[in-house]
Chains A and B, each alone.
Chain A
């Protein structure tokens, strides 16, 4: 069972070995509203923790995707690029965005801490 973490930028990070799967939280998806476009980094790109690596755009707003870890993108979710509404319907499942291979895991929020953040 992968462990689930969160960031203050309203992303969830699921850790499985050295690979982090990243998406936006239900809260973020609800705040954005109808998501119409997702821009993700290509597999193979190097990303640095805390930098903007993609965008999630709704009809009325734009959310930036921050890399939660230093590492290399091993996969980005083509399904959400062609069907952006997946991020609304299942943000923490089928609506995942990128998988990043990392060496070191920075300090992330626990579910409890994140719930407190959005309370």
Chain B
């Protein structure tokens, strides 16, 4: 069988049966009827996408690309360190579909495993940083610093737009701050914190500094706070096992990365960034926050807390545009701490520090000057005129050190550094390692850590590999991921993440490269990135692609910043109005604000389409201040909007640019292209359309694709090996290089997944996948329509790749809510569809092309059975407050404990369908009280007694 046949769940026979239910003769006829003729894709004469190959052949090609990467011992540092990923974590988390195919834990009852892992992560970060509350991870360190800056501006009462930046900050962080501050009117002032400080709403301190210098910022922090500002400290978590925590030094916010806690460098990502805040700032946190609440039995249960802060609810007033975390990587980092425990982490830190001291002693014996006598793991060494010679000498021994300038070299040691490595590096400086007596330290006396951390039992229990393996299994068993069944989440495209696609992620040639390694060591990666960029440009009808944005939200922001840059380059500074349809995802609005734009909402009509009259009125009203329209295609209502070309033309005629949100691209590939029907720029979600797994809530990859006229403003990077964005020269780039992520190519180690998908599908396979996805959605709509109204449809009454089931009539007739149905689906062995987006009281179902007909039918049958249960409630057969729906989901304990006093039998509770007797997902908790968790916020590991 071909890979295409493995990827698409429905075969020819199944598709014929489905077509019959929908009323079409062929998939081609169905899609042609659904997609408006005016946007149908033409023939691509010279495709860059080669014909599909099989799984074995694709792996061989990936091996060939891998062979062009050269892995050396990296001592570059700058926020990225080599690390040993414990094999038990690599095999049981990173390479385990129970973890990587799960979705964001919006349905907490079926996500308790990863929620527990995330609360471990939050506890780890809060403990090490000495702050009250940590979130469930950030995209990377650089963007976390930006978020810290924005948080400081929200929370500070200071009436200034000045933000102070540590002169000894990481170069990529500085570039990110410059790019992001400009758009929102923040003025950055760089300082060494050595004199009087200007008035500022906040300050950013790198601790230890990028040069490796360890200094005590407590006084500077106090001065900033005394003037009404907030202190944001980026801290290295491994260093914090030995150093006083940011909290103890007075910081309001701590940020950073957890990469060196067992997550491979991967040429830049993905890794989990972090953010922690002092008490009182919880509600200002961006991103996901896991908290403890209780279930219907009063048992502790985890859930996402304070969601009303986030963009999907608060839209342009959200704390951030970020709508994802880096869950898979945060789980890995937290498990690294669980596995090593506080003592183990401290020993690792001491070992690293010991090697650094040995190297320092040797260099000083050779009369070399260190930039700072106090350091943790990084030395900056003065070698007047010899820097490049030292770098070359190290390179000859396969060691990478960092050339700061002609006269300065820095060396960063890590967990994997050996005494031999220290010798090799010392010799590159024409020195020998010195003595580093045990028990001594190059950390200042006043900064040595005395406070405890990681005292919770979870960090002090799982020392043996047996125990660790079983803890990971225990957690994974609590969760519902694609390895159990369908996850029909509308707008999320939970398709197959094929094992072959995943293979290369952990190969050392892809996993072990530093993001700032020399270009010559990374040719395989650069080739893969260029190929994938070209393929993505072709399938979307654009000219240029940047793969840097490491989430869809960042892709949006990058695209809007490109529009901003374009308008300003033409002298149109006044073009700041961003039109966004009412039905848009909240992230659109939040991103627009961060791109310095003003959101104006365009109404949608009763069919869910953009209201053309209102659009024309808004365009006229805003005249030459119109910057852009953001539109999702197919629409967030899951239909191919007929007038999309008219809409794009109207915006262009008024001098605006069209941003097409690529969230629903899975309904379009091979049939229509954004760039052809009027899009100027889009972001794609490789974690939706192109098979990167959701990882339980991240990583994501959100490339930004654009027409040539916007190419100069797409993300590049000050430290990139090569500018791979077509249509511009690197010389054109400003110093900050339009950077939106910490690493030049975002999260490269997961790009082989999407590369393999396109390579094994070919253009024809991608088109077949679209057809199968559209057929599956229309089949679901056709079969469920008589039980639940399908809210919107496009041409010929057809939906695109998803359909919205209206449950409001059900509620009116039976009192059963969308929540009840979602939770009851758990009893039937399903993950609920998307709830109440884009319309409250509805479910949005996206079956994707990867599910087979049996699974789709099992879902439809469950939905019909639930409808019948609701009708029984309406008829009075079961009381409104005691029926299988309002009591869902049912745990094993809830049906066996004590007397059964409910109005329906136990079998109906847990085995509503006979097949469940053989194969049943048992939720570990009953329905979770959402309000209790928000009213009694607790975001760290609860004491074990809580579970008694």
Contact = CB atoms under 8 A, between A and B. Distances in A.
A102 interface: no
Interface residues of A, number: 12
Given A60-B307, A62-B308, A36 B313 contact: no
Residue of B308, B313, B836, B934 with most chain A CB atoms under a 10 A cut-off: B308
A36 B308 CA distance: 10
Interface in B916-946: 930-931, 934-935
A72 B284 CA distance: 27
Residue of A34, A59, A60, A61 with most chain B CB atoms under a 10 A cut-off: A59
B935 A85 contact: yes
Contacts of B836: 60
Nearest to A63: B308
A57 interface: yes
B934 A59 contact: yes
B283 interface: yes
A37 to B, nearest CB: 7
B283 A34 contact: no
Given A58-B308, A60-B308, A62-B308, A36 B934 contact: yes
A35 B935 CA distance: 9
Q: Nearest 6 pairs between A and B by C-beta?
A: A34-B931, A36-B934, A59-B930, A57-B308, A36-B935, A62-B308
A84 interface: yes
A59 B836 CA distance: 13
Contact of A85 (B307, B314, B930, B931): B931
Interface string B201-228: 0000000000000000000000000000
A37 B307 CA distance: 12
Interface in A20-68: 34-37, 57-62
Contact of A37 (B283, B314, B317): B283
Contacts of A85: 931, 935
26 contacts: A34-B930, A34-B931, A36-B308, A36-B931, A36-B934, A37-B283, A37-B934, A37-B935, A59-B307, A59-B308, A59-B930, A59-B931, A59-B934, A60-B307, A60-B308, A60-B313, A60-B930, A61-B308, A61-B313, A62-B308, A62-B313, A62-B314, A62-B317, A84-B935, A85-B931, A85-B935
Interface of A: 34-37, 57-62, 84-85
Interface string B273-284: 000000000010
Given A59-B307, A59-B931, A60-B308, 17 more contacts: A35-B931, A36-B308, A36-B931, A37-B308, A37-B934, A37-B935, A57-B308, A58-B931, A59-B930, A60-B307, A60-B313, A60-B930, A61-B308, A62-B308, A62-B314, A62-B317, A85-B935
A85 to B, nearest CB: 7
Contacts of A57: 308
Interface string B288-320: 000000000000000000011000011001000
Interface in B126-160: none
A57 B283 CA distance: 11
Contacts of B307: 59-60
Contacts of A60: 307-308, 313, 836, 930
A84 B307 CA distance: 16
Nearest to A55: B308
Contacts of B283: 37
A60 B283 CA distance: 15
Nearest to A37: B934
B311 to A, nearest CB: 12
Contacts of B314: 62
Contacts of B313: 60-62
B243 to A, nearest CB: 35
Contacts of B308: 36-37, 57-62
A85 B314 CA distance: 21
B644 to A, nearest CB: 30
Nearest to B835: A60
Interface in B50-107: none
A28 B704 CA distance: 40
